Structure 1
Amino acid sequence: MAGNPDIIQQDFLQRSPYHAADPAAFDKKLQGACHCGRVKYWLSKDQPLNAKFCHCRGCQVMHGAPFQWAAIFHKEDMMFEKGAEDLLRTLPDAHHGRGRNMVLLFPTLIKFAGQKERDLFNPKSHIFYSQRVVDIPDGKPKWAGLDGEGKSTLLEEHAT
C-alpha cells in the first residue's frame, strides 16, 4: 500500500487489534506482553481458534529455535493496552496481514494463571514440518506445508 507511512499507521491504530470498538466493554481474560513489558495486550477468549508448532525457515530464523509455538485468534479478540505505536514503528512489515481477520501470537508471552489455562493452548499439529531441523515424535499431525483443506500433504511421523 503506497502512501504516507504516518497516515497508514494512524489508520491501523484505529482498527482491531490495535484499538477495540469499545475498550471499556472489552472482556479482558488473558494478558500478554513482550519480554520487557513495553508492549502489552489483552485477549477476550480463554483459548485460541487453533494452536500449532511451525517449522518454517522464517520462524526458525526469527526465533533462533527449531520451531515456534503459535496461537491464532480473531483480531477482535485482542486489544493492545500499550505499545501498539512502538510495535508498528519498529516492525515495518507488521502490516503484511492487513486484509486478514486473524492474528498470530506466541503463547509464551501470555501470563497464564496455571496449567489448566495453558493447556487450552496446546498445539494441535505441526506445520511446514518438511522444513524441520529436529523430529518431534508426539503423535500430532505433521503437515509438509500449511495444514489441511488440500493445502498440504500429511507426513508420516518417524521417530529418531
Structure 2
Amino acid sequence: MGDNPATRQEDFLQKPPYRAADPAAFNKKLQGSCHCGRVKYWLNKDQPLNAKFCHCRGCQVMHGAPFQWAAIFHKEDMMFEKGAEDLVFYQSESRHLEHELPCKASCSHCRTPIMDEGRNMVLLFPTLIKFAGQKERDLFSVKCHIFYSQRVVDIPDGTPKWTGLDGEGKSKLLDDLP
C-alpha cells in the first residue's frame, strides 16, 4: 500500500467485509442496514461467534447509550450489498476520520453506527439486523457483559459480568447483583 489515502481506500474496499471473494457465491442469510437504508449488508451465518454487552465509557459515549450490544463475526461472514462507499470511519485511539484498524464505521448520511472493524473480525450491532422472528434473534443472545465495572445501569440478568474483557486473564468476574 502506498501513502496515498485514495489508494488505501481502494485497497480495503476490495477485501472483506466490503467485497466478498465471490459475491455470487455468498450465502445471504441475514440482512442489516442503517436507518436511512443507504448502507445495506448481508451475513452468511445464522449466529455470531459471540455476542456481548459492552459497558466501557467509549461505547457509552460513541453510542449515546448505557451500553452497546455487539455481535462478533469474521470479516468473511459479512458483505456489503450497497453503501460501502457511504461509510465514514473513525479511529478512536488517534481520533482521526480514517480507515485505520481498529476503527468504527457508520453511515455518512444518517450516522447510524454500523460496526467496529478489527484486523480479522467485525463487531456488528444486532439492532440493525432484520430478524424474521424471535428464534433468529435468540441466536444473538449475549453470553456476557464486559467492562461492567464502568456500567451506568445494573442489569441483573444472570450472565457473567467482567471488569474488562472476558477471558483475557486480567479481568475479574463480578457478582450479578451489586
Which TM-score applies when normalising by structure 1? 0.93
Question: Which residue of 131, 134, 143 maps to 1:115?
Answer: 134
- What does residue range 7-86 of structure 1 map to in structure 2 within 5 Å? 7-86=7-86
Tell me, which stretches of 5 or more residues in structure 2 are unaligned?
91-96, 103-116
Alignment CA distance shift 1:29-1:130 (3 Å): same
Question: Which residue of 95, 102, 124 maps to 2:100?
Answer: 95
Deviation (angstroms), 1:93: 3.9
- What is the alpha-carbon distance in structure 2 between the residues aligned to residue 50 and residue 99 of structure 1? 15
Partner AA of 2:33 in structure 1: A
Identity of aligned residues (%): 80
Partner AA of 2:81 in structure 1: E
Deviation (angstroms), 1:90: 5.3
Deviation (angstroms), 1:83: 0.8
Tell me, which stretches of 5 or more residues in structure 1 are unaligned?
none
Deviation (angstroms), 1:149: 3.9
Which TM-score applies when normalising by structure 2? 0.84
Asked whether 1:127 is paired with 2:132, we answer: no
- What is the alpha-carbon distance in structure 2 between the residues aligned to residue 2 and residue 130 of structure 1? 42
Asked whether 1:152 is paired with 2:171, we answer: yes
Alignment CA distance shift 1:60-1:42 (3 Å): same
Q: Is the 8 A contact 2:147 2:163 kept in 1?
A: yes
Alignment CA distance shift 1:94-1:53 (3 Å): farther
Give the superposed CA RMSD. 1.7
Instruction: Report the secondary structure of 1:85's partner residue.
Output: helix
Size of the aligned set, in residue pairs, is 158
- What is the alpha-carbon distance in structure 2 between the residues aligned to residue 54 and residue 146 of structure 1? 9
Alignment CA distance shift 1:99-1:90 (3 Å): closer
1:106-129, CA deviations, whole angstroms, 9 ceiling, x for partnerless residues?
Answer: 000000000000000011100010
Deviation (angstroms), 1:95: 3.1
- What is the alpha-carbon distance in structure 2 between the residues aligned to residue 129 and residue 26 of structure 1? 37
1:120-139, CA deviations, whole angstroms, 9 ceiling, x for partnerless residues?
Answer: 00111000101100111011
Q: Which has the higher strand share?
A: 2
- What is the alpha-carbon distance in structure 2 between the residues aligned to residue 34 and residue 15 of structure 1? 21
Deviation (angstroms), 1:151: 3.9
Partner AA of 1:113 in structure 2: A
Is the deviation greater in 146-155 or in 135-144? 146-155
